[in-house]
Each structure stands twice: as structure tokens, then as C-alpha cells.
């Protein structure tokens, strides 16, 4: 079967063996799979990714010296079930957390070798215990957004928002836009969002941001203050005798960029007592002057992935139409255009999510 494979920092469509489901696993046909920033990172920096994940989780998540089969944001159709008392039947449309819970350990779907295909393969294996049926006839492109939207759902829940918080989303790439959509669904606002790209600012507005800022022209932190100003002292957030805050609602800042210097930058702009959630995945060394968050009593939180419950809640919210995410999809292409899809996303102008149909 055909599979989009990273070989020597080149993306090629190769022929790989069709996998056999082990116990508790399902063989599914990949209907569609979204291209993620981490797929691009894996394509161009697989050695760094192997070394980085070896240091962080104790084992490299990729083997850069062999073909890597990408794709973890997929929606599929069940072809074969190898699970006792399985709730799944042939023909079910499903999404799954991108993990296989195997005896030898957990495998991540979308960074494995030739025996572990990802969503950019015609067929792949999923774990029946981490798989969910797509409800309400939700279309497969939107269903495939469950994974990236679940990242945003997790980030927002970890921020423990109240109706009184005023959020600032720094960076409106796929994850920043997804965070805006989740905040909108939860009716946390007004939402302030900033990005240097005009196309992304426009999208941020469409996804539900109330104030969009070009940081080249205007400080996002000043715009946040204007949005968070209150004359009602009972609504004020943390107050410092030195740094004030008595006229500002509490702030939630989502760092969705992930480049060196950003965390320090956000700490410098944040008001006293701000809660900062770092979602951007920076794989390089960074500098932070700790006195900044210390003296401002900033609450820095780092988040990644999601729980199975959050994944399921995200799928349900998408299917119920409460969570509006289809605006993230810029294009749907066939396998023969996967290289140009990766090229477009390497220097994105208006592209956010490009969905690839492995059978097309
Ligand atoms: Zn992803």
C-alpha cells in the first residue's frame, strides 16, 4: 500500500506492507489526515527530534536513519477488528488518539517505521481502546481536526478559565486559532489575539477573536489592558502594591508560537499575577530572566497533548456544532500533492491546515 514516508529528510510516497492488527487493534482505511507543524519538523529535523525526545521521554520517538511514516491527525474507516467484545464494526467511521498501547510500550502513530503506518498511509492500525466512533454524521475532514482541537481543549482547561478572565492569544497559527475556537465555545472573552500575518489575523477574527492586533504596529499587552479594564473592583484580578492591577480583570495568556525568546517576551508584557499557558513547542534552548516572573508572581503553565476524555469531549463538541473549527481547513488534497502541501505549510501565508486524502 502507498504511504507518505520521510526518508533522508525527503518526503516520498513509498510502497510499504499492510500491517496486521494485534489484539485490541483495528485496521482502518485512512480517509483523511491533516498536516501538523510537527510533521514538518520531523521532515526537516528528524535527527534533532530523535535527540530531543530521547532526552525528554527517555527514548527517541523517531528513528531518523530509517523511513518514518507520518500522520497523526486522521479520520478512518474500520476494515478489520481484532478486539474481543469490540464496539466497532467494519465500515464504522472513527478517530483515535494517536497511540498504540502495546506490550513492549506505547507507540506513537505518525512517527513510526515501516511496520507502523501513520495517517498519510492508505491503511493504519489504531488501538480499539483509544478509538471513538464519529457521531452525528460529522464529515471526516472536520472529524480529523479532533486531534489538534483536543490539544487546544486541553490547553484551555489547564488554564482553569472563569467567565471573568480576559484571554490573550499570542500567535494565530493552527494551535492559536484552535485555542480561540475553544475559548469562544466556552464563552470566555473578550478574546484578544495577536499575529504578524494579516491572513492569520483575519482568520483569528473569523474564529471568534474580538480584538486582533498586529504586534508590529501595536502592543498586544496594551490592547489586552484596554479590553480587560474594569471600574468594578470586585471583578479585578491579582493586585500588587507595586505593579497595580486594581482596574484590570484577571488575565490568561496563551503562548502559541514556540520560538526562543517568546516566553521572556510574554513575561515582560504580562500584567501582575497573569496566568501564562505555554502551548508553543520550542525545541531550542531559550533564555529567561527568572526575576521577571518572580517579581510579577506569574503563574507559568506548560501543557501538551490531552486526556482520552478531552479527546472525546472535543469530538462530541465538533459533532454537536458547538465547537466551530472547519475554518481551519485551507485545502484538501490527494497524495500526489502532499509534497506541495508540506512546502506551502513551511512558509504559510493563508494556509492553516491542509488535509491529505491518501486514497485520492
Ligand atoms: Zn499535530
Distance 37 CA to ligand 1 centre (A): 7
Distance 294 CA to ligand 1 centre (A): 32
**Whole-number pLDDT of residue 99:** 96
In a domain, 317, yes or no: no
The pLDDT tens digits for 105-138 are 899 999 999 899 999 999 999 999 999 999 999 9
- Whether residue 348 is predicted with pLDDT greater than 80 in this model: the reply is no
Distance 177 CA to ligand 1 centre (A): 14
Distance 118 CA to ligand 1 centre (A): 12
The pLDDT tens digits for 290-309 are 999 999 999 999 999 999 99
- Whether residue 284 is predicted with pLDDT greater than 90 in this model: the reply is no
- Whether residue 255 is predicted with pLDDT greater than 80 in this model: the reply is yes
The pLDDT tens digits for 76-92 are 999 999 999 999 999 99
Average pLDDT of the segment spanning 19-24: 97
Query: Is 25 in the same domain as 158?
Result: no
Q: What is the CATH number of the domain that holds 280?
A: 3.40.50.720
Query: Is 350 in the same domain as 214?
Result: no
Distance 296 CA to ligand 1 centre (A): 33
Distance 145 CA to ligand 1 centre (A): 9
Q: What percent of the chain has pLDDT over 70?
A: 100
Q: What residues make up the domain containing 158?
A: 148-302
Distance 248 CA to ligand 1 centre (A): 35
Distance 147 CA to ligand 1 centre (A): 7
In a domain, 310, yes or no: no
Distance 35 CA to ligand 1 centre (A): 7
Residue whose C-alpha is closest to residue 314's, from 92, 135, 119, 101: 135
Query: Is 164 in the same domain as 83?
Result: no
**Whole-number pLDDT of residue 46:** 87
Using CA atoms, how far apart are residues 177 and 170, in angstroms rounded to an integer?
Answer: 10
Distance 38 CA to ligand 1 centre (A): 6
- Whether residue 64 is predicted with pLDDT greater than 90 in this model: the reply is no
**Whole-number pLDDT of residue 73:** 98
- Whether residue 57 is predicted with pLDDT greater than 90 in this model: the reply is no
Dmax (CA) for the chain in angstroms is 66
**Helices 198-207 and 174-185, packing angle to 10 deg:** 20
In a domain, 206, yes or no: yes
219-246 burial: b if 16+ Cβ within 10 Å, else e: ebbebbbebbeeeeeeebbbeeeeeebe
The pTM is what? 0.95
Query: Is 87 in the same domain as 199?
Result: no
Residue whose C-alpha is closest to residue 86's, from 133, 144, 123: 133
Amino acid at each position: 500500500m502507498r504511504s507518505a514516508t520521510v526518508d533522508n529528510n525527503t518526503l516520498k510516497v513509498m510502497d510499504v506492507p499492510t500491517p496486521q492488527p494485534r489484539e485490541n487493534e483495528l485496521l482502518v482505511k485512512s480517509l483523511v489526515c491533516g498536516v501538523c507543524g510537527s510533521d514538518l519538523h520531523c521532515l526537516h529535523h528528524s535527527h534533532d527530534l530523535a535527540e530531543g525526545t530521547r532526552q525528554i521521554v527517555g527514548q527517541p520517538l523517531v528513528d531518523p536513519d530509517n523511513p518514518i511514516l507520518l500522520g497523526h491527525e486522521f479520520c478512518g474507516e474500520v476494515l478489520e477488528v481484532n478486539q474481543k467484545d469490540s464496539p466497532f464494526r467494519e465500515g464504522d467511521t472513527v478517530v483515535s488518539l494517536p497511540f498504540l498501547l502495546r506490550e513492549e510500550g506505547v507507540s506513537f502513530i505518525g512517527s513510526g517505521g515501516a511496520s507502523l503506518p501513520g495517517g498519510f498511509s492508505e491503511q493504519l492500525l489504531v488501538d480499539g481502546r483509544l478509538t471513538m466512533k464519529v457521531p452525528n454524521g460529522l464529515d471526516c475532514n472536520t472529524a480529523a481536526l479532533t486531534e489538534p482541537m483536543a490539544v487546544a481543549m486541553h490547553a484551555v482547561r489547564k488554564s482553569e478559565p472563569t467567565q471573568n478572565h480576559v484571554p490573550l492569544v499570542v500567535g494565530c497559527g493552527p494551535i492559536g486559532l484552535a485555542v480561540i475556537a475553544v475559548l469562544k465555545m466556552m464563552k470566555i472573552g473578550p478574546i484578544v489575539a495577536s499575529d504578524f500575518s494579516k491572513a492569520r489575523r483575519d482568520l483569528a477574527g473569523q474564529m471568534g477573536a474580538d480584538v486582533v492586533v498586529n504586534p508590529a504596529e501595536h502592543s498586544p499587552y496594551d490592547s489586552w489592558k484596554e479590553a480587560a479594564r474594569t471600574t468594578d473592583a470586585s471583578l479585578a484580578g491579582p493586585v500588587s502594591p507595586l505593579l497595580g492591577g486594581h482596574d484590570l480583570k484577571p488575565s490568561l495568556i496563551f503562548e502559541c508560537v514556540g520560538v526562543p525568546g517568546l516566553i521572556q517576551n510574554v513575561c515582560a508584557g504580562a500584567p501582575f499575577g497573569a496566568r501564562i499557558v505555554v502551548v508553543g513547542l520550542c525545541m531550542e534552548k531559550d533564555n529567561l530572566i527568572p526575576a521577571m516572573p518572580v517579581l510579577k508572581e506569574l503563574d507559568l503553565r506548560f501543557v501538551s497533548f490531552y486526556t482520552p476524555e478531552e479527546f472525546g469531549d472535543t469530538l462530541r463538541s465538533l459533532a454537536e456544532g458547538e465547537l466551530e473549527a472547519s475554518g481551519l481547513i485551507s485545502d484538501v488534497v490527494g497524495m500526489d500533492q502532499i509534497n506541495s502541501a508540506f512546502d506551502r505549510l513551511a512558509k504559510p501565508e493563508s494556509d492553516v491546515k491542509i488535509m491529505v486524502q491518501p486514497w485520492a
